[in-house]
């Protein structure tokens, strides 16, 4: 493969491991667990993998010369920086168990497992991908592992390759599927183990045992560099407001972290909007107020960060979207009727089919945005928020509000605006030192869990603000993170998403500073990710983790 000079140098970087995984670690079992909610329902659905204990690895010696193990690995869902290092960690971990162990990568995500498309990942292949971004070593996909025929089909190739286990690298939905697969195989006494690894740049797969999902650190550093560049441009030209939508469908972790890194004038936090029951008009008035005040001070420019999933947290919009999800659910009579309508008739037809309150909201927003709300649902039955131009919706409404204020003599400047959406720009960046180390450790820990015969666990690494050799590696039962949620009109077990904690230290610090950042120009320009240099530049973790663990 063709590689850059940076990649040649980056290949030489040896990720750090916690002391407990160096050599052969000793497994220690902790307390038995229960799901975060809906315990009776989750226990009934997962009788073989519910209530298992937390496990961790400590320095120690266990039996050497262990039998070789064959492991299959799958990359599932959207890309996140560090996936290749997870696979490298699995590879090195199973070779540490026994040099004759083998690793197989299923191509194109879960579909490769079902269709029996795979390659053996050898040292020669692995070495080309260490410390690189992307998922291109084996590719990824969004096929859902939900049906028994899929599980049985996967078991066929597992037996052919003499696999002892599968490691599924993915986000909350992918790891939910991994847990369902683990339960099915445990119920059949197939001997197949299934281990998950927590991936998502959104940062919403986290709890006390999963302190961070991998890729979040790198992605927010990439976005923050871009935001810093735009802030500097804004401060140079002094004539534009930049409305920047940031990836993160269900939580504002990316926006909050980027705000802590760059100190923009406006940052919307979806969870706060929901808690305060703010309307769309409330949000627009808040933004217009800051823009007008800065203009009064002579600063007709600035930067606003907008979370991708904001519209689902505005109560009136959330109610509208929930009704649209039910109305347009795949396979329903109303969905078929809707698709047979002329596009020009769809908004009116939908308005007649939903509640009067939601119809009023639907008809009040620009028709372009209303049409985006009615696009095909994603595989989970939810609106595709990444396709909704929330930044333009707010920009248009803020512009109209400022015109009203101008007519009343409350705003005297011109409102120039530029729009941006940062999403794909951060998903395949070369991992930061933190993510390179963290991902490698996640993979190594996954191999250790496999060696110990565990299934239905997610690889876990904690104490992440300490130096890497002090990290605590282990595993958490995936059922511990589950609750019941409505998907495609039915209640299903899923991993509970972690939203921004409005009582947490990161948000409280942001809240204490945002007034100062709003009316002054206290921009920080963080610059690009640094790979080489002092540890306090290259190895630092996120502002979020630092504040959470102070």
pLDDT in tens, 172-229: 999 999 999 999 999 999 999 999 999 999 999 999 899 999 999 999 999 999 999 9
Secondary structure of residue 474 in the 3-state scheme = strand
Residue 40 burial by Cβ neighbours in a 10 Å radius (0-12, 13-18, 19+): exposed
* Distance from C-alpha of 477 to C-alpha of 465, rounded to nearest angstrom: 23
pLDDT in tens, 234-250: 999 999 999 999 998 78
Predicted pLDDT at 250: 83
Residue range 16-215+431-487 in CATH 3.40.50.450 = yes
Return the active site residues. 202
Predicted pLDDT at 156: 96
The two three-digit tokens of residue 296, written as one number:
């009064």
Secondary structure of residue 104 in the 3-state scheme = strand
Section 514-520 average pLDDT? 97
Predicted pLDDT at 302: 98
What CATH architecture applies to the domain 217-427+504-548?
3-Layer(aba) Sandwich (3.40)
Distances (CA, A) of 434 to 54, 85, 131, 169, 171: 24, 11, 11, 18, 19
Residue 266 burial by Cβ neighbours in a 10 Å radius (0-12, 13-18, 19+): buried
Predicted pLDDT at 63: 59
The two three-digit tokens of residue 161, written as one number:
């390759």
DSSP 163-202: -SEEEEEE-HHHHHHHHHHHHHHHHTT---EEEEEEB-TT
426 neighbors 21 (Cβ within 8 angstroms): no
pLDDT in tens, 138-179: 999 999 898 999 999 999 999 999 999 999 999 999 999 999
* Distance from C-alpha of 87 to C-alpha of 443, rounded to nearest angstrom: 6
Domains 16-215+431-487 and 217-427+504-548 share a fold: yes
Predicted pLDDT at 249: 78
Q: Which of 324, 226, 313, 246 is nearest to 277 (CA)?
A: 313
- Domain positions in the chain: 16-215+431-487, 217-427+504-548
pLDDT in tens, 101-124: 999 999 999 999 999 999 999 999
Predicted pLDDT at 24: 66
Predicted pLDDT at 90: 98
Secondary structure of residue 332 in the 3-state scheme = coil
Give, in degrees to the nearest 5, the angle at Cα 195 between 189 and 200: 145
């Amino acid at each position: 493969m063709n590689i850059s000079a940076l990649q040649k140098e980056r290949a030489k970087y040896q990720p750090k491991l916690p002391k407990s995984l160096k050599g052969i670690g000793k497994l220690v079992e902790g307390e038995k667990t229960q799901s975060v909610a809906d315990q009776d329902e989750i226990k009934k659905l997962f009788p073989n993998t519910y209530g298992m204990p937390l496990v961790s690895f400590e320095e120690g010696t266990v039996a050497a010369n262990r039998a070789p193990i064959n492991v299959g690995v799958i990359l599932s869902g959207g890309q996140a920086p560090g996936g290749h290092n997870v696979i490298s960690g699995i590879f090195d971990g199973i070779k540490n168990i026994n040099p004759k162990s083998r690793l197989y990568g299923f191509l194109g995500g879960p579909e490769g497992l079902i269709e029996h498309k795979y390659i053996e990942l050898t040292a020669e292949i692995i070495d080309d991908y260490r410390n690189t971004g992307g998922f291109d070593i084996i590719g990824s996909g969004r096929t859902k592992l939900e049906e028994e025929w899929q599980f049985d089909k996967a078991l066929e190739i597992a037996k052919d390759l003499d696999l002892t286990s599968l490691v599924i690298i993915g986000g909350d939905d992918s790891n939910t599927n991994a847990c369902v697969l683990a339960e099915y195989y445990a119920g059949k006494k197939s001997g197949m183990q299934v281990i998950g690894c927590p991936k998502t740049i959104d940062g919403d797969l986290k709890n006390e045992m999963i302190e961070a999902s991998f890729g979040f650190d790198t992605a927010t550093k990439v976005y923050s560099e871009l935001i810093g560049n735009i802030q500097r441009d804004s401060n140079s030209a002094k004539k534009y407001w930049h409305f920047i939508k940031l990836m993160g469908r269900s939580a504002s972790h990316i926006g909050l972290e980027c705000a802590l890194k760059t100190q923009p004038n406006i940052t919307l936090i979806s969870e706060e909007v929901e808690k305060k029951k703010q309307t769309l008009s409330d949000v627009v008035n808040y933004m217009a107020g800051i823009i007008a005040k800065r203009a009064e001070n002579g600063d007709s420019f600035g930067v606003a960060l907008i979370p991708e999933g904001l519209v689902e947290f505005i109560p009136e919009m959330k109610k509208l979207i929930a009704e649209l999800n039910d109305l347009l659910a795949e396979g329903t009579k109303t969905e078929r009727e809707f698709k047979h309508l002329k596009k020009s008739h769809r908004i009116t037809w939908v308005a007649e089919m939903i509640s009067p309150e939601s119809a009023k909201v639907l008809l009040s927003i620009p028709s372009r945005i209303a049409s985006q709300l009615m696009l095909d649902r994603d595989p989970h039955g939810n609106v595709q928020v990444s396709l909704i131009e929330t930044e333009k919706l707010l920009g248009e409404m803020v512009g109209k509000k400022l015109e009203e204020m101008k007519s009343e003599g409350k705003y005297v400047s011109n409102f120039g605006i530029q729009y941006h959406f940062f999403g794909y720009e951060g998903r395949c960046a070369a991992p930061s030192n933190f993510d390179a180390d963290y991902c490698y450790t996640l993979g190594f820990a996954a191999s250790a869990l496999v060696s110990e015969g565990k299934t239905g666990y997610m690889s876990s690494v904690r104490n992440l603000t300490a130096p890497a050799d002090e990290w605590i590696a282990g595993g958490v039962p995936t059922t511990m993170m589950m609750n019941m949620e409505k998907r495609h009109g039915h209640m299903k077990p899923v991993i509970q998403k972690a939203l921004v904690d409005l009582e947490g230290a990161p948000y409280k610090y942001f809240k204490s500073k945002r007034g100062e950042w709003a009316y002054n120009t206290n921009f920080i320009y963080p610059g690009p990710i640094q790979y080489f240099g002092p540890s306090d530049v290259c190895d630092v973790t996120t502002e979020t983790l630092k504040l959470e663990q102070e």
